[in-house]
């Protein structure tokens, strides 16, 4: 089997390479170049050079050829443009989820094809599992449910899953660390990276301020409708945000944004009954199988509203009607427009949909 292994410089992808090499596959290593070279000031401090040093040492240790694939333009077009359009519309983007679909298993494979390169599989250090059932490829959670990254892979289609290989599926993070130390991998004790790779050590808000002009607006208390502060743009705030509001007498929480008026609504009574959120609409529906889930899958349906272990039992009012109307068993104050709802039936990931809510949304269920 001929395998293209994507490396990031971290311990996970390094061990994925080591495991594949142990099985004596024909392996080529690849690093995707997406750092922003035209950001010619000190704002973007992307640690790509440090990443490459770890990658080069790992490839040298296992005698694997390393290729660097430039995908900056593809990243700008498919990820950054999406990110900016979402925040300007008052939504909460998830670029990591789309990066897997559009870049790692999208633009990267197209780049290989243009070079006339063919590989049976594309391997990464994701914590997830792919199984083939007859002609259908299915995505499952990994053994490590805390580290599981099936949420971020829920946008992949059948063609992409057919190429995907996740060597870390049967391992927990602690097992990965132990094996990496045992095999003396260069990245064995390197800390996991956080956030968007191209941002490096800067804050996301600082990155936005460089690309979006500040626009002052009002911070309004929801209950009294009184203006209690000012902000420099609603796009700097997310639903449920508590820190960085600059308001006294708190704690205050962001509960809504009015995009047209550039207003941010806050409340000190974030968990009061009138702000309960236990349902939502969802558009841009993607089922991994290419087909609507079966009745048995819908009966055992769960949804994740963000990466992590928390999943809610849920019910879709009518799976054939778009947008979907989803009701969760429980309450989640952080439901926000633009987030991805990822659906599961037990350990199998069925697909995802993008949450779509009106900007004034506070209590959809009671109003419906």
SS3 assignment, position 368? coil
In whole angstroms, give the CA distance from residue 290 to residue 301: 17
Residue 364: the pLDDT is: 37
Helices (H), ranges, the chain: 11-22, 48-62, 72-75, 81-88, 95-99, 108-114, 158-163, 173-182, 204-211, 295-299, 364-367
Residue 240: the pLDDT is: 87
In whole angstroms, give the CA distance from residue 215 to residue 87: 14
Any idea what the CATH number is for the domain that residue 347 is in?
Answer: 2.40.30.10
What's the half-sphere exposure (Cβ side, CA atoms, 13 Å) at 116?
Answer: 0
Residue 196: the pLDDT is: 61
- Do 117 and 190 share a domain, yes or no? yes
Question: Domain range for residue 136?
Answer: 2-199
Per-residue tens of pLDDT for the chain, all 368 residues: 999 999 999 999 999 999 999 999 999 999 999 876 555 444 455 567 888 999 999 999 999 999 999 999 999 999 999 999 999 998 989 998 999 999 999 999 999 999 999 999 999 999 999 999 988 999 999 999 999 999 999 999 999 999 999 999 999 999 999 999 999 999 999 988 765 655 555 677 778 888 888 899 999 999 999 999 999 999 999 888 998 899 999 899 998 889 999 999 999 988 887 777 889 999 999 999 999 999 999 999 999 999 999 999 999 999 999 999 999 999 888 888 999 999 999 999 999 999 987 544 444 333 33
Number of folded domains that form the chain: 3
Q: How far, in whole angstroms, is CA 272 from its chain's centroid?
A: 29
In whole angstroms, give the CA distance from residue 194 to residue 161: 25
In whole angstroms, give the CA distance from residue 315 to residue 327: 5
- Do 281 and 263 share a domain, yes or no? no
- Do 111 and 25 share a domain, yes or no? yes
In whole angstroms, give the CA distance from residue 222 to residue 245: 15
SS3 assignment, position 253? strand
Phi-psi region of 297 (alpha: psi -120 to 50; beta: other; left: phi over 0): alpha
Return the axis-axis angle of helices 11-22 and 173-182, rounded to nearest 10°.
70
Rounded to the nearest 10°, the torsion over CA 172, 34, 352, 82 is: 150
Residue 358: the pLDDT is: 54
- Do 159 and 306 share a domain, yes or no? no
| Residues marked as catalytic | 99, 197
């Amino acid at each position: 089997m001929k395998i293209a292994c994507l490396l990031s410089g971290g311990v996970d992808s390094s061990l994925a390479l080591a495991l594949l090499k142990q099985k004596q596959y024909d392996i080529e290593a690849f690093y995707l170049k997406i750092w922003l070279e035209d950001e010619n000031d000190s704002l973007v401090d992307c640690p790509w050079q440090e990443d490459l040093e770890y990658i080069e040492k790992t490839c040298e240790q296992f005698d694997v050829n390393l290729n660097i694939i430039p995908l900056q333009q593809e990243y700008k077009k498919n990820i950054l443009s999406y990110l900016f359009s979402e925040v300007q519309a008052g939504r909460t983007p998830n670029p990591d989820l789309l990066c897997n679909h559009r870049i790692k298993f999208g633009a990267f494979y197209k780049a290989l094809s243009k070079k006339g390169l063919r590989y049976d599989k594309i391997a990464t250090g994701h914590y997830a599992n792919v199984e083939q059932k007859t002609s259908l490829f299915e995505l499952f959670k990994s053994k490590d449910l805390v580290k599981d990254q099936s949420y971020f892979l829920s946008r992949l289609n059948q063609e992409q899953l057919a190429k995907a290989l996740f060597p870390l599926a049967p391992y927990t993070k602690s097992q990965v660390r132990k094996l990496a130390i045992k095999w003396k991998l260069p990245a064995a004790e390197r800390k996991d990276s956080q956030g968007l790779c191209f941002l490096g050590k800067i804050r996301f808000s600082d990155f936005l301020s460089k690309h979006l002009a500040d626009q002052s607006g009002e911070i309004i208390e929801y209950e009294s409708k009184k203006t209690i502060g000012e902000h420099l743009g609603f796009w700097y705030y997310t639903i449920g945000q508590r820190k960085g509001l600059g308001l006294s007498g708190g704690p205050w929480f962001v509960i809504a944004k009015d995009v047209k008026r550039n207003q941010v609504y806050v409340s000190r009574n974030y968990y009061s009954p009138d702000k309960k959120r236990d349902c939502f609409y969802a558009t841009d529906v993607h089922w991994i199988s290419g087909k609507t889930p079966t009745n048995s899958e819908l009966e055992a349906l769960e949804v994740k509203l963000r990466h992590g272990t928390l999943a809610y039992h849920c019910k879709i009012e009518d799976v054939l009607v778009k947008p979907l109307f989803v009701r969760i068993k429980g309450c989640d104050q952080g439901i926000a427009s633009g987030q991805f709802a990822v659906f599961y039936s037990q350990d199998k990931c069925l697909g995802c949909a993008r949450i779509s809510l009106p900007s004034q949304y506070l209590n959809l269920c009671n109003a419906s």
